[in-house]
Chain A
């Protein structure tokens, strides 16, 4: 063994920003942020929005000052970096604020009774220890289940048409599905009102489910198509080569291959409609008692629950509305997580 020590090689990262420059950038940003706070404290500019605008203005000034000796190309690049980042922050602020406020204001009402009681014997202004949204959650789930039972087969058929049958109407079907996804939710509600509700002379969970189905179908159909498109052509060819008819290939080879993808389609459809309020105002109305019957009179749902208590407008009613929103948002979030989980499975 030789006695000389081997020189250790430090890994170098010549492409990354040097430490000194990073520290300088951070301190400049921090200084302008602090200066913006001072401006907010001592001038007429107020609030977090005032601070943000001051900060963005300052950043532009700083960037212009620092690139004053560089060419116009560099100056523009630095300037646009600040402008695009500011635009992005502004674009993301509203929905980040929504996530934040729904969680902060909604969690107050998250108590066991919120999930175990209805509002039959509770007035909106009772303390949050009384009453709950069980009836609304059950109503929403009931309607969404019926709507899924209607749309899922239709959506899958539509996807199968676009990817397997590939008939003459392919373009038309794709176009109609796409345009249908833009039908305003209130119009879907009116449609079911003029047909089903008028014919049966009663508002019901089933009517609400029909309206939701109209809104859900395009989402399910489109996602199903996307998913079925991922099936390799070889699999179909293999099916035919084994002597299977087209329908057997479709049902026994193609569809089972993307089973979890189709689950994703259903989940995304549910996420699309679970928060729809407007159509339910015209078809299922609302109710303060727990009901299960799909054809028997008005029924509660989470969106109409939130909407109703928001309209009442007293302190505890609004607190209930926030909690309802939190539950709604949590459901959407869970559905999305599930969709991602299932969606990842088919991709190889």
Chain B
């Protein structure tokens, strides 16, 4: 069927298309502007910018040269986000299964409402809660883990100071992404065809049998997508990490040591007193972070879109 539009409608369609394309344009502009501002640094440092660990502001007269690279912060970003993911995903799956299949109906409605609300608690409040409330618990767990599993390199520490560690930041980021991951997982699980579940019961299966045979496999790709959305959020998290971690510029894989940082918190920390050149370096760091999260989010989007049949 071919539709012929008159002039009015063509204008309408043009305007609407233009409006719809703003997000594409903005996304493109973000990339272009950040890259232009950071280009100088990429030119000066090359690949060293993402592998080196130094972040030294020069003395200005050239005695101490400027040396900016974000390797340590990239590692920190990934370590903290992975901890968050390892903690959040199993709990979120448990939470989603509970809400969909175990919770009494009355509790469930309240919890689902609260869950939606929790997904929009500002990360700043998570940071506040992290340093004021959670750190006490986190330190105790860190000591326990170190006592029992200290022989494994990542759980060893150099100094017996367990506060402000990637582990604690990871736990708080994990709490931060639990609501969003749980609600995506719950969405997916709730779309399991009722017939399949009933068939399981009819064949003599019990609840866990139905979950294992039907619900969990059915929701697998959706849950992976939800986890990646959570990962995207954790990678770009600024204030919570800023409040919870001391910036230390070296590769740190010991998650209980009180040092770390991530790219986003680096930008927030150094922004205030940066020189012109350092600012460019910060923008370059922002560009790297932008690319990283974009790749993660696009992958997540593709997975989620493929797993949810469009109405």
Spell out A's residues near B (CB within 8 Å): 46-47, 49, 73-74, 76-77, 80-81, 83-88, 90-92, 94-99, 101-102, 105, 153-154, 156-158, 160-162, 164-165, 167, 169, 172-188, 190-191, 194-195, 214, 217-218, 221, 229, 245-247, 250, 271-272, 274-278, 281-282, 303, 306-307, 310, 318, 321-322, 325, 328-329, 332-333, 336, 340
Contacts and interface: CB of A to CB of B under 8 A. Distances in A.
Contacts of A188: 30
A307 B27 CA distance: 28
A272 B233 CA distance: 13
Given A49-B140, A73-B209, 4 more contacts: A86-B94, A88-B103, A91-B94, A187-B293
Nearest first, the 9 A-B pairs at minimum CB distance are A275-B122, A87-B94, A184-B236, A157-B19, A182-B297, A88-B98, A161-B20, A247-B12, A94-B175
B202 interface: no
Task: Report which residue of B6, B91, B126 has the largest number of chain A beta carbons within 10 angstroms of its beta carbon.
Answer: B91
B182 A91 contact: yes
Interface in B274-300: 282-283, 286, 289-290, 293-294, 296-298, 300
B301 interface: yes
Interface string B35-55: 001000000000000000000
SS of B interface (majority): helix
A169 B8 contact: no
Contact of A83 (B8, B15, B33, B94): B94
A92 B16 contact: no
Given A81-B102, A182-B293, A158 B268 contact: no
A158 B26 CA distance: 13
B8 A182 contact: no
Interface residues of B, number: 97
B191 to A, nearest CB: 15
Task: Report which residue of A101, A278, A281 has the largest number of chain B beta carbons within 10 angstroms of its beta carbon.
Answer: A278
A160 B125 CA distance: 35
A101 B16 contact: no
B123 interface: yes
A182 B9 CA distance: 34
B16 A336 contact: no
Task: Report which residue of B11, B114, B233, B290 has the largest number of chain A beta carbons within 10 angstroms of its beta carbon.
Answer: B290
Nearest to A93: B175
A169 B236 contact: no
Contact of A187 (B9, B118, B286): B286
B238 A278 contact: yes
A263 to B, nearest CB: 17
Contact of A190 (B235, B282, B293): B282
Given A182-B293, A310-B243, A277 B24 contact: no
Nearest to A278: B238
Nearest to A195: B33
B208 A95 contact: no
Contacts of B12: 245-247, 250
B86 interface: no
A169 B19 CA distance: 12
A62 B282 CA distance: 56
Nearest to A90: B91
17 contacts: A88-B99, A90-B94, A91-B178, A95-B121, A97-B133, A154-B19, A158-B23, A165-B20, A169-B20, A176-B24, A178-B305, A184-B236, A188-B30, A217-B26, A221-B23, A306-B128, A322-B128
A292 B91 CA distance: 45
Contacts, number: 274
Given A186-B236, A229-B311, A98 B117 contact: no
Interface in B240-282: 243, 264, 267-268, 271, 282
A102 B175 CA distance: 16
B183 to A, nearest CB: 11
Contacts of B11: 247
Interface in B75-107: 90-95, 97-99, 102-103
B23 A180 contact: yes
Nearest to B137: A49
Contacts of A277: 122-124, 238-239
Nearest to B91: A91
Contact of A271 (B24, B120, B125): B120
Contact of A165 (B13, B22, B23, B243): B13
B24 A172 contact: yes
B120 A332 contact: yes
B23 A176 contact: yes
B197 interface: no
Nearest to A304: B124
B120 A194 contact: no
B271 to A, nearest CB: 6
B17 interface: yes
A87 B93 contact: yes
B4 to A, nearest CB: 11
B211 interface: yes
Nearest to B290: A187
A276 B237 CA distance: 11
Contact of B301 (A156, A178, A183): A178
Given A165-B16, A194-B33, A246-B13, A182 B296 contact: yes
Task: Report which residue of A169, A190, A322 has the largest number of chain B beta carbons within 10 angstroms of its beta carbon.
Answer: A190
Nearest to B98: A88
Given A158-B19, A187-B236, A214-B26, A318 B132 contact: yes
B236 A182 contact: yes
Given A77-B206, A173-B23, A85 B98 contact: yes
Task: Report which residue of B34, B92, B122 has the largest number of chain A beta carbons within 10 angstroms of its beta carbon.
Answer: B122
A95 B209 contact: no
Contacts of A310: 127-128, 131, 243
A94 B178 contact: yes
